[in-house]
Structure 1
Amino acid sequence: MAVSGARPRVSWACDPDASRGRLVFEPEMPPRSGFRRDCDRIIHSTAFRRLRHKTQVFVFNEGDHYRTRLTHTLEVVQVARSIARALGLDEDLAEALALAHDLGHPPFAHAGERALDACMARHGGFDHNAQSLRVVTRIERRYAQFDGLNLTWETLEGIVKHNGPLTDREGRGIGHYADGLPHAIAVHCAQQDLDLWSHAGPEAQVAALADDIAYDVHDLDDGIRARMFTLDELEPLPLVGEALREVRTRYPGIDMPRTVNEVLRRVITRLILDVVRQGEAAATDSAVASADQVRRLGRTLITFSPEMAQAEKALKGFLYPHMYRHERVNRVMAEAQRVVRELFAHFMAVPQDMPPSWQQDLESLDETRRARRVTDYIAGMTDRYALDQHARFFDTTPDLR
């Protein structure tokens, strides 16, 4: 990676020694920092292990070489740590946020999320970021003193706010949350204020961009592998086309797999270097001297340069029609949405068909709380388990290929 050298910690990095702490007090455990402990807890969680069999774009049985939520997450971690290291930010916090960012995703990628959101329309909807918070604060049950993982304030803040503020200073929802905050976020913030009106700290902003970089590049790789488009179709695109022409000029006659790898490694390096240069310049121009100043800046500090933002937008503009909206993907995901909808309807009608651990106090739950219980159960499923469960109760389980 082009940005391998570590820099001294900058003043505007989040400092684990100055953390706002955990909801339930725990003594520190040197030599691990609080942020390092957050990483370790996430890695050992059940939700993290399940990412191995959750869809990124292609479902689990389409091939062993396509990305899953787990492999995507590991790539985001690598990119986030590289950027954080180059900027002098806290690498462990950047890693924790990258590790946790997809924990709330249900089976079948965004198709599963759309299906659960529709099922929960009368009960507040479904939001995968809010579900990630719910996983790490309530659903994981591994410790004697508390539910969840009892992560640091900075990690929880980053999980919730990595894409920007959720409310104004008066607590009114803004943007995507103008109609109200997701239940999981509202409930947790009543116990532990995450300053939803401010931007997230710099490491969370790094993790958000690392997510974009990782899925842009690996979706190009998977799309070519799946023969949804060819390298030649990418040549008109800025950034990718430039890298392709450079590789073909320097290495004429190399085989396709090597060509793809050489192109994509150049693309990811240039995206990372751009974020680092832009972040350094923005920090200097804004004269931030602490992570709290970054939060209160009123805008995102860690961004692409305007030129790179346009190139990245063009790349997404290509991927949407050629991959995410491809007829093959749409057909499979339409069937996947049906699986999720039918599972939700079944467990709402017959909640006793959920495992015993999910049936506790069912008779005391009103419809909305029962719907959240069912949603938590389904959202935690892997693709394979969701299909297996569907086959238990229905004769029309699709073969998602």
Structure 2
Amino acid sequence: MLAPFACQPEASRGRLFTEQMSSFRSPFQRDRDRIIHSSAFRRLKHKTQVFVEHEGDYYRTRLTHSIEVAQVARTISGVLRLNTDLAEAIALAHDLGHTPFGHTGEDALELLMQPYGGFDHNAQALRIVTRLEKHYADFDGLNLTWETLEGIAKHNGPVTGPNADAKHAGPLPYALAEVNAMWDLELHTHASAEAQVAAIADDVAYSHHDLHDGLRSGLFTEADLMELPVTGPAFDEVDRLYPGLDKSRRRHEALRRVFGRMVEDVIAVAQGRLDAAQPKSVDEIRHMGTTIIRFSKPLYQELKAIRSFLFTRMYRAPSVVAMRAEVTQVFNGLFTLFQAHPDRLPEEWQADVAMAQDDTALARVIADYVAGMTDRFALQEGKRLLG
């Protein structure tokens, strides 16, 4: 009962390396399962969002975040009669390319890689699923379908052309260019509705759980959130319905209302836009020139106020900034050490080192290695190798 504008599994553009069809799983179900069983997905357990892994057991990791994004994506795509398996696969894969130490690690690696073609976590996710996972006998990577690769590459919108975001100005990240050269991902168009759902599910999930983690860390209080749009009315409603509720339950009840409002808003807006546009195929979705899955303008403005608050009170809190400086030093030290002494890379990486013909190729091998580290392993290696 999929909508005509959903990605139909039987109409998939297939895989780069031809495989026999499964008798009991669709192509997108196989993609999802391969992502879940990948080494890179397991490592997300010890990669963090804002806080560093050792700072607390209750903070979200990239793994728990990806699971939450997948849950939201399944809910929204199910209501809209999209392909839930494809939306879930893209959601589970969207953070595979992230470095240790959250955005701090990515900022550090982006700076280090500027002379060598740059670094982008979406492009790195493509590099992982097309090259760096080496478990199958017939191919490197996971040999995912074109639709899943497209979703990873451009779930946030076109990467090239007139509709591309300004942040994509300049040459393509080398990892994205390599994959696109193998298989044209039509980077100038929007992605499928399923990929757009995965992108908005990411926004919903992190907006919700960063509020949770910020409260748990003590960087701000419930009283602070009562001064903000969306969160303030949510706490007011809980206080009216459950006067005297204990702190933990009050917090949970309020933030689940924030979560619910975001999901309901996305569904209502998408249904309205789809009813107005009446797309007949997924290609019509791709060539609409705008996203079909988005927040309403009023809620978007309210969420901007919340994100501005989080940026000041959480992402740039003094304790977080101090930890950013510490882990950046570790990251820079490891990268520089491996550049000077590539023989210090593990034995299983030495074949790639031997194939590197110049400084750029070597830097990209090192970037693959350090980007794949977990928070815990990067700190251990920093202590072992740097002192």
Same-fold call, TM > 0.5?
yes
Aligned to 1:136: 129
- 2:12 aligned to which of 19, 28, 42: 19
SS of 1:360's partner is helix
SS of 2:301's partner is helix
**Aligned-partner Cα distance in 2 for 1:268–1:361:** 45
**Aligned-partner Cα distance in 2 for 1:268–1:73:** 16
The answer to whether 1:392 aligns with 2:381 is no
**Aligned-partner Cα distance in 2 for 1:290–1:322:** 44
Amino acid at match of 2:82: L
- 2:305 aligned to which of 311, 314, 327: 314
Q: CA deviation at 1:11?
A: 1.0
Q: Which runs of 5+ in 2 are unaligned?
A: none
The answer to whether 1:351 aligns with 2:342 is yes
Q: CA deviation at 1:175?
A: 2.2
Aligned to 2:154: 161
1:1-28 per-residue CA deviation (whole Å, 9 max, x = no partner) reads xxxxxxx421111111101111111111
- 1:253 aligned to which of 233, 244, 252: 244
- 1:175 aligned to which of 158, 162, 166: 166
Aligned to 1:5: none
Identity percentage over the alignment? 53
Aligned to 1:3: none
Q: CA deviation at 1:307?
A: 1.1
**Aligned-partner Cα distance in 1 for 2:219–2:225:** 12
Aligned to 2:254: 263
Q: CA deviation at 1:236?
A: 2.0
Under a length normalisation based on structure 2, what TM-score does the superposition of the two structures give? 0.98
Aligned to 1:56: 49
**Aligned-partner Cα distance in 2 for 1:252–1:227:** 23
- 1:286 aligned to which of 272, 277, 282: 277
Aligned to 1:232: 223
Q: Which runs of 5+ in 1 are unaligned?
A: 1-7, 396-401
Aligned to 1:399: none
Aligned to 1:80: 73
**Aligned-partner Cα distance in 2 for 1:17–1:254:** 51
User: In the alignment, is the contact (CA less than 8 A) between 2:133 and 2:141 conserved in 1?
Assistant: yes
**Aligned-partner Cα distance in 1 for 2:98–2:151:** 16
1:243-276 per-residue CA deviation (whole Å, 9 max, x = no partner) reads 1100001101011110111011111111101111
Q: CA deviation at 1:173?
A: 7.5
**Aligned-partner Cα distance in 1 for 2:353–2:47:** 28
Q: CA deviation at 1:225?
A: 0.5
**Aligned-partner Cα distance in 1 for 2:181–2:216:** 47
**Aligned-partner Cα distance in 1 for 2:351–2:73:** 39
Amino acid at match of 2:2: R
User: In the alignment, is the contact (CA less than 8 A) between 2:99 and 2:370 conserved in 1?
Assistant: yes
Q: CA deviation at 1:174?
A: 6.0
Aligned to 2:23: 30
Q: CA deviation at 1:317?
A: 1.3
1:173-218 per-residue CA deviation (whole Å, 9 max, x = no partner) reads 7622221100011111111000000000001000000001000000
- 1:195 aligned to which of 176, 181, 186: 186
User: In the alignment, is the contact (CA less than 8 A) between 2:9 and 2:28 conserved in 1?
Assistant: yes
Aligned to 2:374: 382
**Aligned-partner Cα distance in 1 for 2:257–2:165:** 37
Amino acid at match of 1:341: N
- 2:290 aligned to which of 294, 299, 302: 299
1:269-327 per-residue CA deviation (whole Å, 9 max, x = no partner) reads 11101111100110111121111100000001100111111121111111110111111
The answer to whether 1:242 aligns with 2:227 is no
Aligned to 1:367: 359
User: In the alignment, is the contact (CA less than 8 A) between 2:66 and 2:95 conserved in 1?
Assistant: yes
**Aligned-partner Cα distance in 1 for 2:355–2:152:** 31
**Aligned-partner Cα distance in 2 for 1:309–1:118:** 31
Q: CA deviation at 1:375?
A: 0.4
- 2:105 aligned to which of 92, 105, 112: 112
User: In the alignment, is the contact (CA less than 8 A) between 2:334 and 2:386 conserved in 1?
Assistant: no
User: In the alignment, is the contact (CA less than 8 A) between 1:166 and 1:175 conserved in 2?
Assistant: no
User: In the alignment, is the contact (CA less than 8 A) between 2:157 and 2:165 conserved in 1?
Assistant: no
Aligned to 2:200: 209
Give the number of aligned pairs. 386
User: In the alignment, is the contact (CA less than 8 A) between 1:161 and 1:196 conserved in 2?
Assistant: yes
Question: Aligned-residue CA RMSD in angstroms?
Answer: 1.2
SS of 1:146's partner is coil
**Aligned-partner Cα distance in 2 for 1:382–1:20:** 34
Aligned to 2:92: 99
User: In the alignment, is the contact (CA less than 8 A) between 1:173 and 1:181 conserved in 2?
Assistant: no
Aligned to 2:175: 184
User: In the alignment, is the contact (CA less than 8 A) between 2:157 and 2:164 conserved in 1?
Assistant: no
**Aligned-partner Cα distance in 1 for 2:164–2:35:** 29
User: In the alignment, is the contact (CA less than 8 A) between 2:238 and 2:253 conserved in 1?
Assistant: yes
User: In the alignment, is the contact (CA less than 8 A) between 1:140 and 1:148 conserved in 2?
Assistant: yes
Amino acid at match of 1:20: R
Amino acid at match of 2:69: V
User: In the alignment, is the contact (CA less than 8 A) between 1:35 and 1:92 conserved in 2?
Assistant: yes
Amino acid at match of 1:370: L
SS of 1:297's partner is coil
User: In the alignment, is the contact (CA less than 8 A) between 2:117 and 2:174 conserved in 1?
Assistant: yes
The answer to whether 1:148 aligns with 2:138 is no
Under a length normalisation based on structure 1, what TM-score does the superposition of the two structures give? 0.94
